[in-house]
């Protein structure tokens, strides 16, 4: 069974961490993944850096720029992850924009993901409709789950459509914003979390964008299955380096 689906069955709120591959240092990828698993993280999103990350705020823009400057590429990431499944068991998801995947070749990219043991992909600028019409079979052939996003502006009708074509979980963007630009959750988020909860979707939801500490993690997971921390983790890496990982994760639980 796909590791994501298995993990979603665990009777607890899931903590997922996003980081940008190749940041702070080019060769940190494997070490970061191992530290995260050892610290008790449930799932990891490995960010494939892109020159023009439209949906990201300054923190992830900067880590992406730095990673590319360090020399990160799709090819190199797959090389770094070659033996990752010898040591790591939690679900691994690659998050990347569509153009680098398109240039690698969608089929070749999916095949490489499967070879190294990636369980799913998040491609923010590959719309659900286009995926469903053109790429679904390739993803499925390589046992990859594609994760779709919903936002507070997504209509109920479209949420139902996305729920229908999802396997695994739905990535619930917490507010109308790019990554990293939120200062906490207010009544608006609460109403949105409740609205989605009340829809009784087939797929569990994991909340992302704006989760930065224990408080926001708890708020987000009151109604959802889990939450994803990205920018706050990158900021910690910038300040403390990879040695700060276990302390940071411990503060969240």
From 10, 40, 89, 102, residue interacting with another protein (rule: CB under 8 A): 102
- Pick between residue 54 and residue 199 the one whose CB is nearest to another protein: 54
Should residue 178 be labelled a site residue for another protein when binding is judged by CB under 8 A?
Answer: yes
Should residue 181 be labelled a site residue for another protein when binding is judged by CB under 8 A?
Answer: yes
Tell me which residues are annotated as active site. Answer: 45, 56
Q: Min. distance of Cβ 144 from another protein in angstroms? A: 19
- Pick between residue 16 and residue 154 the one whose CB is nearest to another protein: 154
Residue 55: partners with Cβ closer than 8 Å, 6 or more residues away = 124, 125, 178, 179
- Pick between residue 103 and residue 251 the one whose CB is nearest to another protein: 103
Should residue 100 be labelled a site residue for another protein when binding is judged by CB under 8 A?
Answer: yes
Could you give the CA distance from residue 167 to residue 144 in angstroms, rounded to a whole number? Answer: 10
Nearest Cα to 234, choosing from 40, 89, 49, 82? Answer: 49
Cα dihedral sign for 48, 54, 58, 59?
Answer: negative
Should residue 238 be labelled a site residue for another protein when binding is judged by CB under 8 A?
Answer: no
Should residue 166 be labelled a site residue for another protein when binding is judged by CB under 8 A?
Answer: no
- CA 14 to the chain's CA centroid: 12
Could you give the CA distance from residue 113 to residue 27 in angstroms, rounded to a whole number? Answer: 19
Could you give the CA distance from residue 194 to residue 62 in angstroms, rounded to a whole number? Answer: 34
Q: Which residues bind another protein (CB under 8 A)?
A: 50-58, 61-62, 65, 68, 73-75, 97-104, 124-128, 130, 148-151, 153-155, 158, 173, 176-178, 181
């Amino acid at each position: 069974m796909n590791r994501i689906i298995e993990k979603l069955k665990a009777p607890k709120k899931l903590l997922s961490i996003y980081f940008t591959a190749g940041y702070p240092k080019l060769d940190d990828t494997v070490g970061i993944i191992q530290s995260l698993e050892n610290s008790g993280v449930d799932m990891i999103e490995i960010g494939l850096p892109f020159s023009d990350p439209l949906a990201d705020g300054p923190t992830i823009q900067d880590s992406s720029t730095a990673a590319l400057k360090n020399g990160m590429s799709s090819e190199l990431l797959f090389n770094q992850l070659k033996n990752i499944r010898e040591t790591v068991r939690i679900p691994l998801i690659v998050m990347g924009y569509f153009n680098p995947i398109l240039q690698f070749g969608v089929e070749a990219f999916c095949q490489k993901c499967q070879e190294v043991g990636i369980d799913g992909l998040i491609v923010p600028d590959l719309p659900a409709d286009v995926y469903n019409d053109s790429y679904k079979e390739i993803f499925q052939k390589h046992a990859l789950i594609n994760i779709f996003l919903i936002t507070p502006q997504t209509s109920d009708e479209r949420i139902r459509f996305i729920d229908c074509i999802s396997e695994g979980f739905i990535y619930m963007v917490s507010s109308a914003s790019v990554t990293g630009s939120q200062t906490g959750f207010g009544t608006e988020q609460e109403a949105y979390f409740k609205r989605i909860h009340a829809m009784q979707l087939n797929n569990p939801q994991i909340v992302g964008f704006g989760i930065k500490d224990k408080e926001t993690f708890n708020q987000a997971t009151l109604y959802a299955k889990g939450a994803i921390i990205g920018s706050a983790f990158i900021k910690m890496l910038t300040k403390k380096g990879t040695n700060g990982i276990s302390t940071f994760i411990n503060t969240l639980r």
